[in-house]
Structure 1
Amino acid sequence: MTDSSSFEPFTFSLGKARITALSDGILTAPIGSLYRLGSDQPTPEKFPDAPAELSVNAFLVETDDKKIMIDAGSGALYGPALGKLRAALETLGVSPDDIDDVILTHIHADHTGGLIADGKAVFKNATLHIGKTEAAFWLTDGAADAPHATDKVKGQIARAHDTIDPYETENRVELFEDNGDILPGFSATLRAGHTPGHLAIRFDNNGETIVFIGDIVHGNRVQFDNTAVTIDFDYDQPTAATTRAAAFQQAADEGYLIAAAHLPFPGVGNISRNGDQYRFDAYKK
């Protein structure tokens, strides 16, 4: 098992901005048994390259006048192997109170759990930015009674409220269009499938680009070899597969950096074509 405490924050420049990958920890699980290929049933024998663990990464973007988080880690929701984001920030000399904005790629607990501690907002001065489709799916009154609300979804809805309501109560939640601008330099593209309103967050600064792709991919081999492979966590698996193929193709064609929540830390690099497959090359300073 990888010791995530050895993951020092990974900082690099993009244009005139500074970006830091932050490790929230390591999720240890039989990932091969969670992959799917054209079926709702696990087929682990088809995935010998499946990882035994997944990084959980979040990202800090620092511009001249703002500090912006992309996702917030899992907080106390997944045990002691995770929830290390706050400590990672502190090694940079950054307090949660210094954060101006938090942009969510989607509302799953490993991205929102770090928003709270003991039921209270961790980022006391930050505005929380959520895409409209994602907010409607998880946070609308009566969502737990909707036809799509399986027992699994109902549990996720409850956690969504636990993590986001403290900000809503203080009028610190802003919704944005799924394919629109969020903040200066930041824009969204709907990349549905993993969740109905899952987003890629693009950041442009001084002619350079990075796209935070959230949970488009889990692990650095299997889904690059075959974009049709989905994972149990995907809400709509066929759409997730189509979305991944489109996201990989665009990243390869345009050549921008990507940053992902569940690629090996720091989760930053480039996607390129490798015949009819794709390849991830980690960023090197």
Structure 2
Amino acid sequence: MRFHRLFLGSVVAAATLFSGAFPLTTQAAPPAHGTSVAQRRAQVPGVYRYRVGDFEVTALSDGTVPQDLHALLRGTSPAEVDQLLHHAFLSNPVETSITAFLIDTGSRLILVDTGAGGLFGPGYGGKLLSSLKLAGYAPEQIDDILLTHIHTDHSGGLVSEGNRVFPHATVHVGKPDLDFFLNPANQGGVNGYDKKYFEEAVKTVGPYMKAGKVHAFTRETWLFPGIKAIPTPGHTPGHGFYRVESRGESITFIGDIVHVAAVQFPKTAITIVYDVSPRDAAAQRETQFATAASHRSLVAAPHLPYPGIGHIREEERGYTFVPVNYRDRDER
């Protein structure tokens, strides 16, 4: 998903809205115990651990960004969007999570997506490395990276100032995405799909390509014991799920099959401007939601409210997302 011009427009709009709603004041209470106001208001980096059989899955927050859904969503109207948001106790613009997931198999450390890095600018994403550090890991320890697709908020964290952030990692991604986004003939944009998508794909995935650290897949493939890549084209040509199985338990990382839970679960036909093929993206969403709901499968998605792990339930009309029950205690 690329938050380029429309994203920046929504950020400016949100900033204007919020600055009007919360004016600065000179009467703020003094900082407590030597901490600054900024420190007291800052969120703690997001780390949430979840067991799947013998594997440990850790949701790592890369931060959140505001999105103007009136400008971004397709196949709907502002009035319908506002109605769906109101039902979910939300209003436009909506703050959207960017989450990566770390899989510790016991023998490998595998990262699913890498967040936006610094490509959205200060204050919008870019928190993955601090979350990774808080979880007790360093970028040098990552063995593999599973990209659900090549969009900036999933591949932006691969690089910093043109250098590979994860020097020992091999990047796994659907071949159709490589063929589409890194094709020199497409660098000016394709059929109205902005050239920024392609330029930033070269910036983020390109250094790993040059280092021989990219592995592409074209069909359902067991990448490692217990971890399968599953092509799910639509949002992008090479969009893919990753299914993790261990001791009879499983979780499927579903990437950008959904961007706005409050809107796209009840109305699967509503698409977003980031979709390369809106029709295919909507059809894929309906198919995958129905499958996950019927199998009661555990799923994880980067743009669902952090930590983005839960189940999909079929309703009389559409679907709802049911987050996992929160757990915070030592394992016995």
The two structures have a TM-score, normalised by structure 2, of 0.80
* SS of residue paired to 1:6: coil
Identity, in percent, stands at 37
Deviations 1:149-169 (A, max 9, x none): 146442211100100111111
Q: C-alpha distance in 2, partners of 1:251/1:61?
A: 21
* SS of residue paired to 1:221: helix
* RMSD (Å), alpha carbons: 1.9
Give yes or no for contact 2:45–2:130 (8 Å, CA) kept in 1.
Answer: no
Q: 1:86 to 1:222 in 2, by over 3 A?
A: same
Q: Which residue of 2 is the match for residue 175 of structure 1?
A: 216
Q: C-alpha distance in 2, partners of 1:152/1:30?
A: 19
Task: Please identify, of 195-204 and 45-54, the stretch whose mean Cα deviation from structure 2 is larger.
Answer: 45-54
Cα displacement (A) at 1:276: 2.7
Q: Which residue of 1 is the match for residue 115 of structure 2?
A: 73
* SS of residue paired to 2:203: helix
Q: 1:153 to 1:30 in 2, by over 3 A?
A: closer
1:205 counterpart = 2:224: no
Give yes or no for contact 2:45–2:134 (8 Å, CA) kept in 1.
Answer: no
Q: C-alpha distance in 2, partners of 1:59/1:153?
A: 28
- Supply the AA of the counterpart residue of 1:33: A
Q: C-alpha distance in 1, partners of 2:81/2:249?
A: 36
Unaligned runs of 5+ in 1: none
Cα displacement (A) at 1:59: 0.3
Cα displacement (A) at 1:34: 1.4
Cα displacement (A) at 1:7: 4.8
- Supply the AA of the counterpart residue of 2:142: I
Task: Please identify, of 91-100 and 49-58, the stretch whose mean Cα deviation from structure 2 is larger.
Answer: 49-58
Task: Please identify, of 228-237 and 48-57, the stretch whose mean Cα deviation from structure 2 is larger.
Answer: 48-57
Q: Which residue of 2 is the match for residue 22 of structure 1?
A: 60
Q: Which residue of 1 is the match for residue 72 of structure 2?
A: 34
* SS of residue paired to 1:83: coil
Q: 1:4 to 1:202 in 2, by over 3 A?
A: farther
Q: Which residue of 2 is the match for residue 233 of structure 1?
A: 274
- Supply the AA of the counterpart residue of 1:43: S
Q: Which residue of 2 is the match for residue 119 of structure 1?
A: 162
Q: 1:212 to 1:186 in 2, by over 3 A?
A: same
* SS of residue paired to 1:228: coil
Deviations 1:86-115 (A, max 9, x none): 000000110000100001000000000100
Q: 1:112 to 1:4 in 2, by over 3 A?
A: farther
Alignment partner of 1:165 out of 206, 212, 224 = 206
Alignment partner of 1:11 out of 49, 55, 79 = 49
Q: Which residue of 1 is the match for residue 289 of structure 2?
A: 248
- Supply the AA of the counterpart residue of 1:110: D
After TM superposition, what 4+ stretches of structure 1 lie above 6 angstroms from structure 2?
1-4
Q: Which structure is higher in helix share?
A: 2
Q: C-alpha distance in 2, partners of 1:32/1:260?
A: 22
Cα displacement (A) at 1:142: 2.4
Q: C-alpha distance in 2, partners of 1:78/1:275?
A: 39
Q: Which residue of 1 is the match for residue 180 of structure 2?
A: 137
Give yes or no for contact 1:31–1:53 (8 Å, CA) kept in 2.
Answer: no
Q: Which residue of 2 is the match for residue 154 of structure 1?
A: 195
Q: C-alpha distance in 1, partners of 2:42/2:292?
A: 28
Unaligned runs of 5+ in 2: 1-13, 19-40, 328-332
Q: Which residue of 2 is the match for residue 106 of structure 1?
A: 149
- Supply the AA of the counterpart residue of 2:105: T
Q: C-alpha distance in 2, partners of 1:83/1:199?
A: 23
- Supply the AA of the counterpart residue of 2:198: I
